[in-house]
Amino acid sequence: MVCGYNGKIARIDLLERSVKIEEPEELLYKKYLGGRGLGAYYLFRDLAPKVDPLGPDNELILATSIITGIPIAGMSRFSIVTKSPLTGTFGEAEAGGHFGSELKAAGFDALIVKGISDTPVYLWIQDGKVEFRDASALWGKVTKDTQTEIRRQLNDPLVRVALIGPAGENLVRYACILNELKYAHGRGGLGAVMGSKKLKAIAVRGHTRPESKEPQRIQQIAQWMATHWKEYPGTVNRSTYGTADALMPLDTSGLLPTRNFQGGSFADAEKVSGETMKATILTGTDGCYACPIRCKREVRAHEPYETDTAYGGPEYETIAAFGPLCEIGDLSAISKANELSNAYGLDTISTGSAIAFAMECYENGILTNKDTDGIELRFGNVKVILQLIEMIAHRRGIGNLLAEGVKKASEKIGKGSNHFALHVKGKELAMHDPRGKAALGLGYAVSPSGADHMQAIHDPAFVKPVKALESLGIIEGLDPNSLAPNKVRAFVQAHLWWGLLDCLGACKFIFIPHGAGVLTPNHMVDLVNASTGWEASLWSLMKASERALNLARCFNAREGFTAKDDVLPERLFEELRFGSRKGAKLDKGQFNKALQLYYEMMGWNRETGTPTTAKLDELDLEWVAQAFHPT
């Protein structure tokens, strides 16, 4: 008897309006687990090199895992994998909510969507069946109106809907996919891929969850979690203030990205903090499937920026991107920017970064009123934020340029604007500054999908010895500013652990093995085995994560990416101009030395950064080595 998963994957062709059900062998699940791993396997196997990310041959892969949907906090996330239209690399993002567990209950472990529909369409997936529904009347609608209408048509308020807004339809290169209007697969332009396929939404409803081999063991861990999570201060803060609990500590430490990463502290930080949100505009909280922490915010902002609570409230990344990064200290305006982004389907990190980039170009005379249709793109101009979100989503005026992302926009602008375009491989930096988190900078550089704070553990986890980290071989405290060999070694292990969480669809807030996390790596092993009945070990699970990372790396290498693309923006090697960490910077020589050491520890070619044949053979990826012939 199969346990932990359905053993069924739906392969959907939008042009042909056809559905084929594949039933992979258990071995595939053991090798790739789900999520990122399963997505990387199919993307590398199915796509020819140099496929147009917005063309019919690109695939959009929605993948759950062998533990998605078990009734315990943190098991709700799922991956969406594709070739990114923003970076041209392996594209990946995870999100929580209820969609992933509902997809499992509907009978499928993954969906693989290809082709381009002749007319707008949405998919209706219920209890093992896939239907194509006309979405012509939904095209152009914002996300809330779309979700409301789909639930009305299907006569079920519990239908879970993953969908795009006008930004995805207009192929904004950092358009996102949302479910429940607030859980975003935000990074890399996945919404643009969905829009290019004329796929407005995917609606799911299921009534039969896969059986677990040892449900009593899962229940024991769930009860332990429910009983003990309030003993962890970091988790309590996350429940109380949401992810915005990070804002004031980062400001105090001088690592709050301000004025497009020119400095690390913001004069109005307290006005936009999680504490202020709770005291002023917070109306409620929400949470993912089976999670008691409820870190999602619901806000009602003050006039003239009153917001709809259905769109939730701003996360830390959103506050930082529209707030300090653009020097905006109005929490209500930031909340409105969050609502508009969710309504139109925009990644808030890339949107805020694109606006901050434009502001710095304007203040340096690179962009003028002629380029901006008379809009004064100055830092601190709150009205500009909301105006530009509309323009970007609809590709109007300068919004059409910024919709390309900062890398492509700077290439079109020229005039030295590339210095203000802060990205890795085309993906805008997340709101965490490596000038005080050195290993995070390494993570930005080597991430297969570009600068992504969710693909590398953050350095504060290393400062003091943490018992839960011992199972990963990290047994000593480490300097957050160091890139010494012991730090690189710890980064390798932590990087693979975070990748494992993406393969398994596990929430990093629950499983971060330091002060904010509750469950440990050893709990994860127990959950996998209780779900599947396997005899997996932490070693075998980490190898599955390493397999997924190497597959993504080979995908990029096949697209022409090399070690030369594992670079950080020059600004990060320059001193912070203001804030409590004024004068701090990354040392480029130390960074490059650490990067090459990382390659060697990973079994990659020191010069090209490409996995060696021996490494691929060791990971049971001979088929990749044979197809790719890496040097």
For 203-214, how does the pLDDT look when each residue is reduced to its tens digit (9 = 90+)?
A: 999 999 999 999
CA angle at residue 83 from 80 to 84, to 5 degrees?
Answer: 90
SS3 content of the chain, % helix, strand, coil (to 5): 45, 15, 40
CA–CA separation, 268 and 272 (whole Å)? 7
How is residue 601 written in tokens? 């520890």
* CA distances, 327 to each of 89, 341, 343, 584 (Å): 31, 18, 23, 21
Please check the confidence at residue 513 and state whether its pLDDT lies above 80: no
Q: What is the pTM of this model?
A: 0.97
More confident residue, 609 or 466: 609
Please check the confidence at residue 470 and state whether its pLDDT lies above 90: no
Intra-chain end-to-end CA distance of the chain, in Å: 42
| CATH fold for the domain made of 246-421 | 1.10.569
Q: With residue 409 as reference, give the H or E element that holds it.
A: helix 406-413
Please check the confidence at residue 561 and state whether its pLDDT lies above 90: yes
Q: Which of 314, 334, 313, 339 is nearest to 324 (CA)?
A: 334
Residue 378: CB atoms within 10 A of its CB come to: 13
Domain ranges (residues) in the chain: 9-205, 246-421, 438-628
Please check the confidence at residue 579 and state whether its pLDDT lies above 90: yes
Task: Tell me whether the omega of the peptide bond preceding residue 465 falls within 30 degrees of 0, making it cis.
Answer: no
Please check the confidence at residue 631 and state whether its pLDDT lies above 60: no
Mean pLDDT across the stretch 332-346?
Answer: 98
pLDDT digits (tens, 9 = 90+) for 91-118: 999 999 999 999 999 999 999 999 999 9
- Sheet with 129-134: list strands edge to edge: 129-134, 121-126, 199-205, 160-163, 177-179, 183-185
Q: What is the pLDDT of residue 23?
A: 98
CA–CA separation, 454 and 439 (whole Å)? 13
Q: What is the DSSP letter of 65?
A: B
Share of the chain above pLDDT 90, in %: 91
Residue 92 φ then ψ, to 5°: -155, 145
Report strand pairing: 18-22 vs 160-163.
unpaired
Q: At what angle do helices 348-363 and 331-344 cross, to 10 degrees?
A: 120
Q: Which of 543, 627, 603 is nearest to 31 (CA)?
A: 543
Report strand pairing: 177-179 vs 160-163.
antiparallel
How is residue 605 written in tokens? 């070619």
* CA distances, 131 to each of 103, 110, 113, 125, 134 (Å): 14, 16, 13, 6, 10
DSSP per-residue codes, 112-134: EEES--SS-EEEEEETTEEEEEE
CA–CA separation, 113 and 127 (whole Å)? 18
Region 9-205: CATH code: 3.60.9.10
How is residue 200 written in tokens? 């407005």
CA angle at residue 416 from 347 to 190, to 5 degrees?
Answer: 20
CA–CA separation, 180 and 46 (whole Å)? 30
Share of the chain above pLDDT 70, in %: 99
Q: Residue 93 pairs with which residues in a beta bridge?
A: 80
Residue 413 φ then ψ, to 5°: -75, -45
Mean pLDDT of the chain: 96
Q: Which residues contact 626 (CB under 8 A, 6 or more apart)?
A: none
CA–CA separation, 55 and 116 (whole Å)? 8
Q: What is the pLDDT of residue 515?
A: 53
Asked if CATH classification 1.10.287.990 holds for the domain at 438-628, the reply, yes or no, is no
Mean pLDDT across the stretch 58-72?
Answer: 97
> Are 547 and 439 in contact, with CB atoms under 8 Å apart?
no
Residue 486: CB atoms within 10 A of its CB come to: 13
Return the exposure string of 145-170: e unless at least 16 CB atoms fall within 10 Å of the residue's CB, then b.
ebbebbbebbeeeebbbbbbbbbbbb
Residue 528: CB atoms within 10 A of its CB come to: 27
pLDDT digits (tens, 9 = 90+) for 280-336: 999 999 999 999 999 999 999 989 999 999 999 999 999 999 999 999 999 999 999
CA–CA separation, 257 and 576 (whole Å)? 10
Please, which pLDDT band fits residue 630 given cuts at 50, 70 and 90? very low
Q: Which of 460, 433, 379, 411 is nearest to 569 (CA)?
A: 433
> Are 536 and 504 in contact, with CB atoms under 8 Å apart?
no
